[in-house]
Amino acid sequence: MSKTTSSSKQNGRVAMHVPDPEVVAQARRRQFTTAYKRQIVAQADACTASGEIGALLRREGLYSSHLSNWRRQLAAGTLGDQRRGRPAEPLVAENAQLRRENARLRRELEKTQLIVDAQKKLAQVLGLMSENKAERNENA
């Protein structure tokens, strides 16, 4: 509700409009049960006279789009099956963990491959040294 107050005539103002400070913090979306939706669709289908559907919608505080959407969903067999918002993704956390583990294992594999390559080179160098010693011993 808004209030109208009178101020003094000295400043030349006659009436002042003060808005109501009470405001709903957050509007809530209406949620209708499946049984209620079916009941309203059945009542609307039972209406025969002109203007009865409009009276039904006004009485229930609904819009014609509600009724048409509910009729479409009822015909498709999906009335009451829908959920708002993003679909739940239960595998996201597991997927992230597996990616981290995969990256860690790749780093370990690279380190292991470097060590194996170094061991091969060392074996080749030692093999050459042992061949050189064998040649020296034969020549002597």
Asked, for residue 12, whether it belongs to a domain, the answer is no
Domain limits for position 136: 102-140
Residue 88 lies in a domain: no
pLDDT digits (tens, 9 = 90+) for 8-18: 455 555 566 77
In-domain check, residue 59 = yes
Contact 16/62 with Cβ under 8 angstroms?
A: no
User: Count of CB atoms within 10 A of residue 70's CB?
Assistant: 21
Does some domain include residue 35? yes
Q: What is the pTM of this model?
A: 0.45
- Greatest Cα pair distance in the chain: 130
Handedness of CA 127, 128, 133, 135 (dihedral sign): positive
Model confidence pLDDT, tens digit, residues 61-118: 999 999 999 999 999 888 877 777 777 677 888 888 899 999 999 999 999 999 999 9
Structural domains counted in the chain: 2
In a domain, 63, yes or no: yes
Residue count (the chain): 140
Q: Is residue 49 part of a domain?
A: yes
Residues 107 and 73 in one domain: no
CA-atom Rg of the chain in angstroms = 41
